[in-house]
Amino acid sequence: MMYNIALTLVNGIGPVQAKILLQHFENAEQVFRAKRKELAAVEGIGEIKASEIKAFEDFATAEAEMNFCEKHHIQILSLKEEAYPQRLLNCYDPPTIVYYRGNANLNQSKIISIIGTRNNTEYGKQITEQLAEALAEHQVLIVSGLAFGIDAIAHKASLQQHLPTIGVLAHGLHSIYPSQHKSLAKEMLLQGGLLTEFRHTIKADKHNFPRRNRIVAGMSDATIVVETAVKGGSMITAELAYNYNRDLFAVPGRTTDSKSQGCLKLIQQNKAIIYTSPTQLLQELGWASAQKSKPSVQKALFVELSEEEKTVVGILGQKETMHVDELYLQSGLSSSAVAAAILNLELQNIITSLPGKQYKLL
């Protein structure tokens, strides 16, 4: 493993070049033992990079990293190991190695990344928590970046629903950034884990976050953008997911809400699928349960409902509670039609309103 770490230290050898070399040679040790001429002949390497490899001598740093990882029970996973996140291998620039501490399977059959703004709204929080609740019975691994806002909400909601959750870091495992999430990170080590491509001496730096984001996008089957402005880290992650040919979903919001502008842009550009409900998400991914959805007692009893009222009852029967905005989106009805249907259903004691413009069947 020392040679794998050393390969990440060679000047001019990034993830793309390292992947090329490890595809050409059997392992990282052979890369360092190869002759300069042989290295230079590898497509994408050339004379300059070959010289950098042959001139490299700082194996002591690699050994120090190995010692740190052994002391702190950190796994070092290289490209060719089974425990390495295999979905990353489909990316053109996978991390040469990742450092992992935790107990979750990084190759779980179903993995979703949930990302969004650091300054979320209550709407974004509700969507994230409802999503985690709905995914609880599907054994999904939830991935995010341990940042403030939607990331932290996704991790916390996963823990509450007993879902494994992975935090991908933009620094080494010597500390936690932001420091306010140290307690959260400790909980995640018991029900998920922490993952990074950075050595333990590397601090959080703005240039590291895009590199972190590509792991969030690449190790998942799908990425869900809950809320984001037009610019920011979430948009970078979304673009990466799109370029990696991953399924990309965006939660729609009001056109006047700055925190939804990025999501609306992704939908407008046909880069993201509009997210309307966990049920829709599961169907899009082919993960929908084979079990029949439970029949709506109210729908059977109140056969005299209008078509609009039947539509609202049918949608509410899909989950325990639902925000009025989601009702608008799923029903395809005008806001006035939905409002009228809700009022009539409340008067008939078929549905009830909850705080935060939430509704549920009685």
Specify the CATH number for the domain of residue 183.
Answer: 3.40.50.450
Do 98 and 116 belong together in one domain? no
**291 in a structural domain:** no
148 with 263, same domain: the answer is yes
Judge contact between 359 and 327, C-beta under 8 A: yes
Whether residue 53 is contained in a domain is answered as yes
Residue 290 falls inside a structural domain? no
Secondary structure (3-state) at 162: coil
Q: Which of 254, 285, 316 is the last residue of a domain?
A: 285
Strands 165-168 and 75-78: unpaired
Render the burial of 323-356: b for 16+ CB within 10 Å, e for the rest. Answer: bbbbbbbbbebeeebbebbbebbeeeebbeeeee
Q: Is residue 92 part of a domain?
A: yes
- Domain limits for position 55: 2-102
Per-residue pLDDT of the chain (362 residues), as tens digits, is: 899 999 999 999 999 999 999 989 989 999 999 999 999 999 889 999 999 999 999 999 999 999 999 999 999 999 989 999 999 999 999 999 999 999 999 999 999 999 999 999 999 999 999 999 999 989 899 999 999 999 999 999 999 999 999 999 999 999 999 999 999 999 999 999 999 999 999 999 989 999 999 999 999 999 999 999 999 899 999 999 999 999 999 999 888 888 999 999 999 999 999 999 999 999 888 887 644 444 444 444 444 788 888 888 888 887 778 888 788 888 888 878 888 888 888 887 788 888 777 888 87
* Residue count of the chain: 362
Burial class (CB within 10 angstroms; exposed 0-12, middle 13-18, buried 19+) of 20: middle
Please tell me whether residues 213 and 329 are part of one structural domain.
Answer: no
Q: Do residues 73 and 136 both lie within one domain?
A: no
Say if residues 317 and 260 touch (Cβ distance below 8 Å).
Answer: no
Pseudo-torsion of CA 314, 320, 323, 327, nearest 10°? -10
Q: Is 219 in the same domain as 123? A: yes
Domain total in the chain: 3
Asked whether the whole model's pTM tops 0.75, one would answer yes
Q: What is the pLDDT of residue 289?
A: 63
